[in-house]
Amino acid sequence: MFLLTKQWLGAWFSLSGLRWVWDGDTTGTKPALGTGNKGLEKATGGFVPHFVIDYAPYVHLYSEEIFLPGDIGEHLEHTIPYLNYTPLTSLHTRQSLTSLSHLNRFGPHVYLTSDDDPETQPSWLRGDHNRPVPIGHGETDVGASTAPGIIIWTEKENNVTDAFYFYFYSFNLGNTVAGWRFGNHVGDWEHTAVRFIDGVPQSIFYSEHSGGVAYEYGAVEKIGIRPVCYSAVGSHANYARPGTHYYAIPFHLLADHTDKGPLWDVTKNSYMYNYDVDHDILKPSRDTPGAPVDWFHFGGRWGDMMYRPGDRRQWVIAGQYHYVHGPTGPKFKNLARKEICQNEGVCVVRSSLTEEAEIPFVTLEGWDGEDVDEWAGLPDEKEKRN
């Protein structure tokens, strides 16, 4: 009988060189923190191309999901900017979606830290009131959430348009290995991206933790002509099909789970923008001319900084932590990508959903390791704290 122990886990991580990363940034050049071209941002970016809406993904949340979509504006009402575990007390008012980038003057290590202990799971953190409207409650409203999605389209060379559909949640519940949970964090940004050539969809990318999987557009499940995305319970990683999805380490120790739970349609309530990646100019679509812009340029993190080792909520085994850093926002998810995948250079566009099974586990080396290297030099094991 195979017995899984903390010592075995430590040996595995040491031998494999594997590290897990949650919501890290892609490698390579990252956007400047700046606040964009403020003089031009106030103008609208034209109407969203019809195909960006026509082919927008539907998202199936997990049927028993307790951390539902979050409203980025409401999130700011319950968080305080921290720097080095210290609140920025010089700021006497709450931040808003129209002022958030002002925090960039403090550098990239500002964390929007929860007022509440996330272990208590307050209602705003769970997004209780943002559950999408179910079938049977008015066909025009089915799938609508009070939490706005974010739709950003970018125009590139050779008649390419990339459309990014961002989904925000105020909390990410990590998965477990042998009863130990790793990777919790306040704030969670996930996305799908569809690449169009001359308005025709060619491929689609589903973000999963710090990586993701891309498919030819014709290979994925659809409702009508719109692709379907499955959001994993707790982690909100995106997949192209329902079921159990093993990742990161072998022997089926770590898995995401998806099913045909509530359907979320971000086109029913969203902020829509055109983004000029070359000039760092974000403009609201004429469809949503009042959509706030400033928040997009915030260069810090949308959640707490990784809790210190002495914090009762924190533990570490084999270099992996119960609580990790909150994520950066959409601007830092490689919107300028040449390939459809967020992490370029390793992008494979699969022609079938069954190709996913050919990859036994995901290797995360080479991606942003800030989350796991923050406490370099600590012992590999600590006792689990109650």
Query: Could you read off the pLDDT of 153-187 as tens digits, one per residue?
Result: 999 999 999 999 999 999 999 998 888 898 999 99
Q: What is the DSSP string of 63-101?
A: TT-SS-B--HHHHHHTEEEEETTEE-TT--S---TTTGG
Structure tokens at 6: 């903390």
**Residue 181 contacts residue 317 (beta carbons within 8 Å):** no
3-class DSSP state of 347 = coil
pLDDT attached to residue 362: 38
> What element of type H or E holds 50?
helix 50-54
Q: Tell me the β-bridge partners of 114.
A: 79
Q: Can you tell me the distance from the alpha carbon of 361 to that of 136, in angstroms, rounded to the nearest whole number?
A: 40
Q: Can you tell me the distance from the alpha carbon of 1 to that of 302, in angstroms, rounded to the nearest whole number?
A: 43
Burial class (CB in 10 A: 0-12, 13-18, 19+), 60: buried
Structure tokens at 134: 């179910």
**Count of residues making up the chain:** 386
**Residue 82 contacts residue 110 (beta carbons within 8 Å):** yes
Domains of the chain, by residue range, sit at 6-373
pLDDT attached to residue 179: 84
Complete edge-to-edge strand list for the sheet that includes strand 79-83: 86-87, 79-83, 110-114
- What is the residue whose two structure tokens read 């012992």? 379
**Residue 314 contacts residue 322 (beta carbons within 8 Å):** yes
Biggest CA–CA distance in the chain, Å, is 67
pLDDT attached to residue 19: 36
Name the amino acid, one letter, at 28. Answer: G
In angstroms, how far is CA 150 from the centroid of its own chain? 12
pLDDT digits (tens, 9 = 90+) for 223-252: 999 999 999 999 999 999 999 998 765 545
Give the torsion sign (CA, 371, 376, 382, 386). negative
Question: pLDDT in tens for each of the 386 residues of the chain?
Answer: 334 444 445 544 443 333 333 344 443 446 777 655 544 455 677 999 999 999 999 999 999 999 999 999 999 999 999 999 999 977 667 899 999 999 999 999 999 999 999 999 999 999 999 999 997 766 678 999 999 999 999 999 999 999 999 999 999 999 988 888 989 999 999 999 999 999 999 999 999 987 899 999 999 999 999 999 999 999 999 999 999 998 765 545 678 999 999 999 999 999 999 999 999 999 999 999 999 999 999 999 999 999 999 999 999 988 889 999 999 999 999 999 999 999 999 999 999 998 754 443 333 332 233 443 443 333 333 333 33
**pTM (2 d.p.):** 0.86
Q: Can you tell me the distance from the alpha carbon of 46 to that of 225, in angstroms, rounded to the nearest whole number?
A: 24
pLDDT attached to residue 36: 59
pLDDT attached to residue 177: 82
**Residue 62 contacts residue 233 (beta carbons within 8 Å):** yes
